[in-house]
Amino acid sequence: MLFFTQCFGAVLDLIHLRFQHYKAKRVFSAAGQLVCVVNPTHSLKYAPTRCTAAQTSVEQGVLPPCHHHEAVHDPQLVPCTCPLFSCPWEGHLEVVVSHLRQTHRINILQGAEIVFLATDMHLPAPTDWIIMHSCLGHQFLLVLRKQEKYEGHPQFFATMMLIGTPTQADNFTYRLELNRNQRRLKWEATPRSVLECVDSVISDGDCLVLNTSLAQLFSDNGSLAIGIAITTSKVHNAEAEM
């Protein structure tokens, strides 16, 4: 009986996930957008990390040694950019995508416009939803985080990070859009580089910020659909024409 109960619960979870995916595809397929269902992961990174030191060192043009030991590292190496875990991995920027996919099993979706469907929004903070978006010859990291900036008041933070340098990031513009129940909310900005650390972006509030009430207005049965579009910046286009 116990075996039957466990198997039946797993089947119900799978049916529920496929039903959510089907609903999202039905809503957004008319716009030609790809839909990716993203399950939440409880973050293990909310402890002292290298982010603050790494950001300062990036501004100075060097990277700090790992806090686990005092060995001097190659200044071209960057720490793991995955915000979900305190990962000790370091490597060159061009192999970050391979590390995220192979080690952290982060999905990657291709297309000019996609829909990021985050499930189980009701889970307690801190919780992260993350996916990679391949577009315009580059890879971007979309991070949605539920976090309490003030005790007892969780908020949702969504941002797009370029897996590249800050100079490369300045060439793009990303748009996040929520659209439900005759309400529409848009956030448009220049993506930040993963070298700058997603924790700092959230702390600065330089991202889409939703309180719980606003997130509920745009959610559907505990899932939040975020439309994503990435374009080259107008300044970059003007310079190219000149």
Considering the domain boundaries, does residue 48 fall inside one? no
Considering the domain boundaries, does residue 190 fall inside one? yes
Question: Total structural domains in the chain?
Answer: 1
**Mean per-residue pLDDT for 61-86?**
55
Residue 57 predicted with pLDDT over 50: no
Boundaries of domain holding 201: 28-42+74-232
**Mean per-residue pLDDT for 68-97?**
70
Burial of 4 (0-12, 13-18, 19+ CB in 10 A): exposed
pLDDT of residue 185: 96
**Mean per-residue pLDDT for 224-234?**
90
Most confident of 34-43, 150-159, 231-240: 150-159
Q: What is the CATH number of the domain that holds 194?
A: 2.60.210.10
pTM beyond cutoff 0.85: no
Tell me the pLDDT of the chain averaged across its residues.
Answer: 76
Alpha-carbon gap, residue 220 to 23, rounded angstroms = 10
Between 64 and 231, the higher pLDDT residue: 231
Alpha-carbon gap, residue 10 to 40, rounded angstroms = 17
Between 21 and 217, the higher pLDDT residue: 217
Considering the domain boundaries, does residue 64 fall inside one? no
The rounded Cα 195 to chain-centroid distance in angstroms is 14
Considering the domain boundaries, does residue 47 fall inside one? no
CA proximity to 214, closest of 175, 183, 182: 183
Considering the domain boundaries, does residue 146 fall inside one? yes
Confidence bin at 52 (pLDDT 50/70/90): very low
Considering the domain boundaries, does residue 66 fall inside one? no
Considering the domain boundaries, does residue 61 fall inside one? no
Considering the domain boundaries, does residue 12 fall inside one? no
CB 135 within 8 A of CB 175: no
The region that residue 111 occupies, defined by phi over 0 for left and psi between -120 and 50 for alpha, beta otherwise, is left
